[in-house]
């Protein structure tokens, strides 16, 4: 019998995503100076206030206030009427050094490998539903809110009333063979400027979303006369962002991953450096799953990996192909082969995916998974210390280096996977 599945996404102006982007911007600023920075940065945002807290170990000097204000401005909170604005928001910085008890299990010694930064389990998922190898409901939800932001920033004349906060939700109908056949429902709520008349406002926003935004990002063949649209269903949405609701780092973990498909281990990503396997191993698991599906091992794959704090080797790696496997092996046998292809020790993951680079701010909105990998030049702040006659002299210089982003989305292991599985 056909069934429905729903996922949601939120825009970069959603309060929780504002918090995520601030945390990751602080992380990137530290990695740009000291790639060995250990960072666990949490952010709270509310009316006119940003609170930054957490644990760091770094040789970098970062102007936290400057990073926070630039991030808020980039998102689009630049008007006093939003009651959360880049130049006027108060900022409380409560970052302090990382626990030595935790560091001793994670630091890389002369004769031992880097241990996992914490215990826990992480998941990676991929399917053939979309070109992104992502669940369709989430992929389309991301596209909707991302296009709203694109219009707001780059085509403001098209929908001149848009403000930064927005949410989208898409419901997909599947057939008996678990194949997506149509879109049942689209829900979009977008913050907007005040209108003189509420009825005019609702009609205008609904028409613009259906006639402008949806056609740009949703394939027409999946829409029909029975597709339902709920556009700003609660009505007026002028008060939004951190003034409308407080935001916290790590509160959108399902938006960040697979929209409720597959599974989630519970650990958030933003504000954490790559020694935290919550982040690095989740990326590595996605990398495995995507390359497996692209290689033709299965049409749908879920990878679970688990660690003990301070121990390098994972305690388990588990595979679920949901009965879609194309090879004559059990899921357990597939898992054994994968461990021979992908080194899942934290240090190996960091090296394989280049996770000591300042690449994380880009992932803090519109999903960490399903993005397109790319390379660009990034500014690094190099600190050099010279000592002469017992006096240390520190100099700083800026340099540009090419850096790869979303490396966990690369299909660079397809040939290795095919060879290992005889495909």
> How many whole angstroms from its chain centre is CA 406?
10
Judge whether residue 109 has pLDDT over 70: no
Evaluate whether residue 231 is within a structural domain: yes
User: In whole angstroms, how far apart are CA 230 and each of 83, 149, 168?
Assistant: 27, 19, 10
Both 283 and 359 in a single domain? yes
The answer to whether residues 390 and 280 belong to one domain is: yes
Looking at the fold, whether 306 and 406 belong to one and the same domain comes out as yes
Q: Is residue 160 part of a domain?
A: yes
Of 213, 240, 267, the one marking the end of a domain is: 240
Same domain? 216 vs 313: no
Binding site members for L-methionine: 55, 98, 245, 276
* Other beta carbons less than 10 A from residue 108's beta carbon: 13
Give yes or no: residues 139 and 288 share one domain. Answer: no
Average the pLDDT over 316-341 and give the result: 96
CA torsion through residues 410, 416, 420, 423, sign? positive
Q: Is residue 199 part of a domain?
A: yes
How many CB atoms within 10 Å of residue 280? Answer: 27
DSSP per-residue codes, 232-267: STTS---S-HHHHS-EETT--HHHHTTTTSS---S-
Q: Read off the pLDDT of residues 38-80 as tens digits, 9 standing for 90 and up.
A: 999 999 999 999 999 999 999 888 999 999 999 999 999 999 9
Annotated binding site for K(+): 42
Nearest to 262, CA basis, from 296, 227, 298: 298
Q: Is residue 20 part of a domain?
A: yes
Domain membership of residue 110 (yes or no) is: no
Binding site, annotated residues for ATP: 14, 165-167, 236-237, 245, 251-252, 268, 272
CATH number assigned to the domain comprising residue 72: 3.30.300.10
Same domain, 396 and 263: yes
Whether 115 maps to a domain, the answer reads: no
Q: Which residue range forms the structural domain that includes residue 307? A: 120-127+252-421
- Two tokens, residue 319: 């595979």
My answer on whether 271 and 174 are in the same domain is: no
90 and 140 inside one domain: no
- In this model, does residue 102 exceed pLDDT 60? no
**Is residue 111, in this structure, part of any structural domain at all?**
no
Q: Say if residue 353 is in the same domain as residue 300.
A: yes
Residue 246 lies in a domain: no
Element (H, E) at 100: helix 100-106
Residue numbers belonging to the annotated binding site for Mg(2+): 16
Q: Does residue 284 share a domain with residue 262?
A: yes
Contact 58, 391 (CB under 8 A): no
> Could you tell me if 346 and 386 lie in one domain?
yes
Would you say 66 and 40 are in contact if contact means Cβ atoms under 8 Å apart? no
Per the structure, the count of domains in the chain is 3
For the ranges 82-86, 94-98, 348-352, the lowest mean pLDDT is seen at 94-98
Instruction: Pick out the residues of the known binding site.
Output: 14, 16, 42, 55, 98, 165-167, 236-237, 245, 251-252, 268, 272, 276
> In sequence order, what E strands does 310-419 have?
316-320, 374-388, 391-405
What is the reported pLDDT for 279?
A: 96
Residue ending a domain, among 183, 215, 240, is 240
Cβ contacts of 2 within 8 Å, gap of 6 or more: 173, 174, 175, 176, 181
| pLDDT grade for 108, boundaries at 50, 70 and 90 | low
Q: Which residue, 219, 240, 261, sits at the end of a domain? A: 240
**What band does 414 get if pLDDT is binned at 50, 70 and 90?**
very high
Query: Do 45 and 183 belong together in one domain?
Result: no
């Amino acid at each position: 019998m056909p069934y429905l599945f729903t996922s949601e996404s939120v825009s970069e102006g959603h309060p929780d995503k504002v918090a995520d982007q601030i945390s990751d911007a602080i992380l990137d600023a530290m990695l740009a100076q000291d790639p060995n920075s250990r960072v666990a940065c949490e952010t709270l945002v509310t009316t006119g206030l940003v609170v930054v807290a957490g644990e760091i170990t770094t040789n970098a000097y970062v102007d936290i206030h400057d990073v926070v204000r630039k991030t808020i401005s980039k998102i689009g909170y630049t008007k006093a009427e939003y009651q959360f604005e880049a130049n006027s928001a108060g900022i409380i910085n409560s970052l302090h050094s990382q626990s030595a008890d935790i560091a001793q299990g994670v630091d890389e010694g002369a004769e031992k490998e880097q241990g996992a930064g914490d215990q826990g389990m992480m998941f990676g998922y991929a399917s053939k539903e979309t070109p992104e190898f992502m669940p369709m409901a989430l992929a389309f939800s991301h596209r909707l809110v991302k296009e709203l932001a694109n219009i707001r920033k780059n085509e403001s004349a098209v929908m001149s009333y848009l403000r930064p906060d927005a949410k989208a939700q898409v419901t997909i109908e599947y057939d008996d063979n678990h194949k997506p056949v149509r879109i049942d429902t689209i829900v979009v709520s977008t913050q907007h400027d005040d209108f003189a008349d509420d009825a005019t406002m609702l009609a205008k926003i609904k028409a613009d979303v259906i006639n402008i935004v949806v056609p740009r990002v949703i394939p027409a063949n999946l829409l029909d006369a029975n597709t339902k649209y709920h556009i700003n269903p609660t009505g007026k949405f002028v008060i939004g962002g951190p003034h409308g609701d407080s935001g916290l780092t790590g509160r959108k973990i399902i938006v960040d991953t697979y929209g409720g498909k597959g599974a989630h281990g519970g650990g958030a990503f933003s504000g954490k450096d790559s020694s935290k396997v919550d982040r690095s191993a989740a990326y590595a698991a996605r990398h495995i799953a995507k390359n497996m599906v692209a290689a033709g091992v299965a049409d749908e794959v879920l990878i679970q990996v688990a660690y003990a704090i301070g121990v390098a080797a994972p305690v388990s790696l588990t595979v679920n192909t949901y009965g879609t496997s194309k090879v004559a092996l059990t899921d357990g046998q597939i898992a054994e082969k994968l461990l021979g292809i992908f080194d899942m020790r934290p240090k190996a993951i960091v090296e394989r995916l280049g996770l000591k680079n300042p690449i994380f701010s880009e992932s803090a909105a519109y999903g960490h998974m399903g993005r397109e990998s790319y390379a660009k030049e990034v500014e690094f702040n190099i600190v050099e210390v010279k000592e002469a006659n017992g006096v240390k002299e520190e100099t700083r210089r800026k340099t540009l280096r090419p850096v790869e982003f979303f490396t966990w989305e690369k299909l660079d292991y397809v040939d290795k996977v095919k060879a290992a599985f005889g495909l």
